[in-house]
Structure 1
């Protein structure tokens, strides 16, 4: 069984989560869940899904802190 890995901003980095069995998209956030039930919420969007290599590329939104 080949479950997905999620990466932030580029493929070469360490995956933010592995063994992903379920992904939900909710507006400006992506909810990921592993086969064992571990959940991670990423503020951002899906850029690309590579089904051949079971990889998900995410673009993380960073919230402005309001200081100038």
Structure 2
């Protein structure tokens, strides 16, 4: 499977925001909609800071 976990960077820390992300959709106003494998959906005002495809990790920040 190719799902990634999304983390929110806060200072030097990274906090898990959503597991098993399958889709990221940009929205108006600098927001992102993230959807998970199980159908969970979260919207956050953030930027993509890093996308590690080999490590299955998405880092979001403000």
Give, in angstroms, the shift of residue 14 of structure 1.
3.3
Partners of 1:58 and 1:21 lie apart in 2 by 15
Aligned residue pairs total 60
Q: Counterpart of 1:31? A: 33
Counterpart secondary structure, 2:46: strand
Mark the runs of 5 or more structure 2 residues left unpaired by the alignment: none
CA RMSD of aligned residues (A): 1.8
Mark the runs of 5 or more structure 1 residues left unpaired by the alignment: 61-68
TM-score (norm 1): 0.75
Give, in angstroms, the shift of residue 26 of structure 1.
2.0
TM-score (norm 2): 0.81
Q: How does 1:1-68 map to 2 (within 5 A)?
A: 1-9=1-9, 13-27=14-28, 28-60=30-62
Q: Which has the larger radius of gyration?
A: 1
